[in-house]
Amino acid sequence: MAFKYFPHTDEEVSQMLERIGAKSLADLYSDVPQELQQKAEYQIPEAMSEMEVRRFFNKLGMQNITLRSFLGAGYYDHYSPAVAQSIIHRSEFLTAYTPYQAEISQGTLQYIFEYQSMMAELTGMEVSNASMYDGTTATAEAMMMAVAAAKKRSRVLISDTINPFVLRVVKTYAKYQGIQVDMIPAKDGETDHEALKAELEKEDVAGVIVATPNFYGIVEDYTGVADLCHEHKALFIIHCVATALSVVRTPGEWGADIAVGDGQSLGIPLSYGGPYVGFLCTSKKLIRKMPGRIVGATRDADGKRAFVLTLQAREQHIRREKATSNICSNQSLMALYVTVYMSLMGAKGLREVNATSYSMAHYLAEVLTSTGLFEMAYPGKPFLCEFAVKTKLDIEQLQAFCNSQFMQCGLKIADNTLLLAVTETYSREDCDNLVEACVTFNKEQEGCKL
């Protein structure tokens, strides 16, 4: 019997089996051990009406416990405009694929071009691609770009102040690309410039990767680092928190060769790790080494403005073994998301986001330390929305207690150190509730000791 949505008829299946020399579909799985093969009926529930399905999932959803989270570490709870959600769910965007046929993909190509323009301006770099899978893989791609540009060098230095989750991905890529990754030690929560200089003087470094703000939330000073890298023929790469670039010095202003990071902070909701969007921006001289798509503006036969894929090395598509990266294309739905977000917020809106986040984070740091239970891990260091504190409290027990109060009190990054983040979506009441929970926990612990 033929089914409307089944791609093959019985006759077609028989022809395929005959072609490969198999007698039945079961023969295709003959190498799978019998004990691993499913014999019983699949546990698929009976069909339900739409209303029944909605009730079923609403009931499941009610089992979720929503916590006020003070976690950050690279991914932040920023305001997400309803307009952005509405636009990306339009069918022409939600189902669009790689726009190879420019004649029928002008809308997609245009928003990619706008994304590139905005990211180039945000990072202070000359060109941007569109886009990477996430910020961690974008950083790994930048590492491979540095090695490809250096040709005879295969050592990359990474600051110890970079996000450890990013570092793990970079090291994974490096292992299978024959790249040596060495760490630049941290000093008081910042990259040790003297140690960096000593490593560069070995004249075998292809690239240097640092972060702004770094993993501890500190906005580091990279004065002179670009000149130092270029003096020793190494590329300078900065991993960034995207939204922070509207108020701190950009990679372009620091003299970086490549700027990378995750665009999640540009309004993309937190969602169990994705989907997010990685950005990679660079100088014109490195454009042929850059993975991913690049859209350019031109004129059609009638002189009208048009958009095309351009300036990519042909190896990226048809000689993959020679390509810098294995990324040829990447669905750009999330690039559209941050494009809509940046269009709505504008430069003024992004500055307001950071101003409010800064105010709330510094308020929380002040009231936490005023309890005497916490102290700043890196006192005097500038930070925006994220900071680290040291405490004598048992952090794991504190986290469990705060969970019972419907809060996540930060990320444990050392035995006595918590990393906390606050954005414009938090209020003073949220911060006060966290402080109150910490004080209550301490009193209960002291009571137990008595």
Look at the chain and count its residues: 450
pLDDT of amino acid 317: 61
Contact 274, 304 (CB under 8 A): no
Q: What is the mean pLDDT of the chain?
A: 91
**How many CA atoms within 13 Å lie on the side-chain side of 269?**
7
pLDDT of amino acid 1: 47
Virtual CA dihedral for 18, 22, 28, 31, nearest 10 degrees? Answer: -160
Residue 207: is its pLDDT beyond 60? yes
Q: H-helix or E-strand containing 299? A: strand 295-299
Mean pLDDT of the 109-135 span? 94
Residue 3: is its pLDDT beyond 60? no
Mean pLDDT of the 350-379 span? 97
Contact 134, 141 (CB under 8 A): no
With tokens 């023969």, the residue in question is 27
Mean pLDDT of the 11-32 span? 88
- Looking at the chain, the whole-number percentage of residues with pLDDT higher than 90 is 72
With tokens 């949220």, the residue in question is 430
Q: From 85, 87, 129, select the one nearest 277 (Cα to Cα).
A: 129
pLDDT of amino acid 248: 97
Residue 101: is its pLDDT beyond 60? yes
pLDDT of amino acid 26: 85
pLDDT digits (tens, 9 = 90+) for 18-28: 999 988 888 88
> Which residues, 6 or more positions from 440, have their beta carbon under 8 angstroms from its beta carbon?
401
Mean pLDDT of the 254-282 span? 94
| Residue 298 backbone dihedrals phi, psi, to 5 degrees | -150, -160
User: Any idea which of 64-78, 99-113, 271-285, 408-422 has the lowest mean pLDDT?
Assistant: 99-113
Q: From 194, 212, 218, select the one nearest 255 (Cα to Cα).
A: 212
**Alpha-carbon distances, residue 277 vs 130, 267, 290 (angstroms):** 9, 11, 16
pLDDT of amino acid 352: 97
User: Any idea which of 66-80, 83-97, 323-337 has the lowest mean pLDDT?
Assistant: 323-337
User: Any idea which of 100-104, 173-177, 257-261, 315-319 has the lowest mean pLDDT?
Assistant: 315-319
Residue 6: is its pLDDT beyond 90? no
Would you call 329 exposed, middle or buried from its count of C-beta atoms within 10 A (0-12, 13-18, 19+)?
middle
Which strands form 417-421's sheet, in the order they lie side by side?
Answer: 374-376, 386-391, 417-421, 411-414
**Structural domains in the chain plus CATH codes:** 68-77+346-449 (3.90.1150.10), 82-341 (3.40.640.10)
pLDDT of amino acid 320: 62
> What 8-state DSSP symbol labels residue 25?
G
> Which residues, 6 or more positions from 192, have their beta carbon under 8 angstroms from its beta carbon?
184, 185, 186
pLDDT digits (tens, 9 = 90+) for 35-89: 888 888 877 888 899 999 999 999 999 998 889 999 999 999 999 999 999 999 9
Tell me the Cα Rg of the chain. 26
Most confidently modeled range among 133-137, 239-243, 274-278: 239-243
CB atoms within 10 A of CB 404: 10
Q: H-helix or E-strand containing 218? A: none
pLDDT of amino acid 326: 63
Residue 322: is its pLDDT beyond 90? no
> Which residues, 6 or more positions from 380, have their beta carbon under 8 angstroms from its beta carbon?
none
What confidence tier does 284 reach under pLDDT thresholds 50, 70, 90? very high
pLDDT of amino acid 310: 85
pLDDT of amino acid 30: 86
What confidence tier does 329 reach under pLDDT thresholds 50, 70, 90? low
Most confidently modeled range among 36-50, 86-100, 180-194, 322-336: 180-194
pLDDT digits (tens, 9 = 90+) for 247-258: 999 999 999 999
CB atoms within 10 A of CB 439: 14
